[in-house]
Amino acid sequence: MYKFLSVIFILCSFSSLAQDPGFFKISVSVSSEIRSAFVNKGRLIVRVTGPITPGTNTKPEEVIGVTAENWDPSKPFVFTTKQKNVLVNGVEKLKGHISEKFYYQVLYKQNIADGNDRVAGNLYSETDSFTLGSKTKLDLVLNKLVTPAVVVNHPFVKTIEIKSRYLSEFFGNPRYLKASILLPSGYFENPDKNYPICYRAPGLNGRFDQINGTINKKEFTDWWFTKDAPQVIYVFLDSQGPFGDTYQVDSDNNGPCGKALTEELIPEIEKLVHYQPSSKMRYLAGRSTGGWVALGLQIFYPDFFDGTWSYSPDPVDFEHYGLIDIYHDSTIFYNKYGYLQPGRRTIYGEPTFSMKDWIAGENINSVTGDYRVSGGQFGAYNAVFGPKGSDGLPTLMFDPFTGKIDHAIAKQWEKYDLKKVLEKNWKTLGPKLQGKIWIWTGDMDGLYSNVATRFLQKFIEKTENPKSDAIIKFTPMAGHTQEWSDKAVLMMVAQKAAESRK
């Protein structure tokens, strides 16, 4: 893999910056060494970032994006931030920073099979610096290729990759499913034993190589490879999709991902580790996006999975989609009082990022110039929950520049609104979900996801026939996924499995 700055930067040349610090003339070249890997019509993504603003934790930055149409890679691609097809965000943040040092880097997003930025096949440049306000022409060269993720070589780690017939037929070209597997400490002493198995759904755009971070934590491994550690098989799923995270569910745009997971990948994993489905010890866990996936899969496949642990799930109620009601609000950019709708906050309630800025950033990252193929949070939501458009791309639920909600499209999101799914189907779902749902959320969730979880709790408390025994916990003043712990989850999984054996 490669090392990126904490943000993605870019190249530039400019004039009269003292008068207009947001103006850039940009020239990008492709080095001869990686020219054979170049794919036309990719997205050039640019950030210029500088020192931390005094009194804050933020850096002034400008983000630039343009789709490179008809680029001959043997020649530089040149454009300016004044062109209509070039999207720019953050100009105002550069004002007042003349003569300060800024850093820049270019990323070329060309892997159409994966909506994320930092994935195999995309190109990027070295990082360089300049002084804002200078008249120096700055050119950067795409000279590095993002390489595929590699899972750590460890005797207790297995990987699996299969060709998905369902997804290959849907897209008309070969598609593959991946996962990595962490075996319990006693596995090789009893390789044919039937162990409980827990599927860990990753956070947004997470990959199967996230097992590396877990196995490389000394505190975790010192515990895991002891006789006292739970004897559970821990599987790390992969969320790759052309529009970003697939959320592991069937959708009009990503195809039959849920069907492929439950009918193709999971059976192959369980064959590999000798798991017996009849033992009913197949569990789910995840945080953030993975928290939604863990809860969603349990609800959509109530007989297939035997319990879920969901931390800080993405909105489970679309009437409280963060602070937005997608069914009744007119726009996602402003609230009903006329103020900018915040998208993120600190645990003390201070807004740090507006929905308008959030979507502007995703528009820049997308080859279409809107958030549909940004690979970001809302690009992923839109692809998973919404219908496919006549152009073969996801239909926009809201306007990318005004935030105006298309309520006809929003209505079609209802089948993924987990609270509505439970409300409409409680008579049949309720009995199947007894003893299977555990949710935790911090009451100062940085993405406001706790609001939706609160309203799910209100529904759960009113259920009858059966009265739900779902466990939903909130911690005051806690932030997004703050109490997530692989160790805590695995201990709860082991306890649940032990109870099921009685």
- Show which of 365, 397, 415 is a domain's final residue: 415
What's residue 20's pLDDT?
62
pLDDT in tens, 42-80: 999 988 888 766 666 667 688 899 999 999 999 999 998
The verdict on residue 238 lying in a domain is: yes
The verdict on residue 150 lying in a domain is: no
Given a contact cutoff of 8 angstroms between Cβ atoms, the answer to whether 324 and 330 are in contact is no
Same domain, 399 and 473: no
| Residues in Cβ contact with 316 at an 8 Å cutoff, skipping those fewer than 6 apart | 292, 295, 417, 418, 419, 452, 453, 456
The verdict on residue 380 lying in a domain is: yes
- Which is more confident, 12 or 361? 361
The verdict on residue 16 lying in a domain is: no
Mean pLDDT of 393-410: 98
Same domain, 368 and 275: no
Specify the pTM.
0.94
Over 50: is that where the pLDDT of 1 sits? no
Confidence of residue 2 (pLDDT cuts 50, 70, 90): very low
Cα–Cα distance list, 142 to 114, 145, 367, 412 (Å): 20, 8, 18, 41
The verdict on residue 282 lying in a domain is: yes
Mean pLDDT of 470-479: 98
- Show which of 415, 435, 454 is a domain's final residue: 415
Cα–Cα distance list, 354 to 78, 303, 323, 340, 379 (Å): 31, 40, 11, 6, 16
What's residue 217's pLDDT?
96
Provide the 3-class DSSP secondary structure of residue 423: helix
What's residue 155's pLDDT?
97
What's residue 52's pLDDT?
63
Given a contact cutoff of 8 angstroms between Cβ atoms, the answer to whether 413 and 326 are in contact is yes
What percent of the chain has pLDDT above 90? 81
Same domain, 165 and 281: yes
Domain residues for 268? 157-317+417-501
Domain harbouring 291, CATH code: 3.40.50.1820
Same domain, 424 and 342: no
Confidence of residue 13 (pLDDT cuts 50, 70, 90): very low
User: Which residue in 348, 433, 115 sits closest to 245, CA to CA?
Assistant: 115
- Average pLDDT of the chain to the nearest whole number: 92
Provide the 3-class DSSP secondary structure of residue 254: coil
Same domain, 238 and 257: yes
Name the region of 178 (left: φ>0; alpha: ψ -120 to 50; beta: rest).
Answer: beta
Cα–Cα distance list, 2 to 28, 118, 302 (Å): 20, 9, 40
The verdict on residue 409 lying in a domain is: yes
- Show which of 87, 111, 145 is a domain's final residue: 145
What's residue 11's pLDDT?
40
The verdict on residue 152 lying in a domain is: no
Same domain, 231 and 270: yes
Taking the C-alpha atoms of residue 382 and residue 446, their distance in angstroms, rounded to an integer, is 21
Over 70: is that where the pLDDT of 3 sits? no
Mean pLDDT of 128-132: 82
Provide the 8-state DSSP code for 318.
Answer: G
Domain total for the chain? 3
The verdict on residue 10 lying in a domain is: no
Provide the 3-class DSSP secondary structure of residue 411: helix
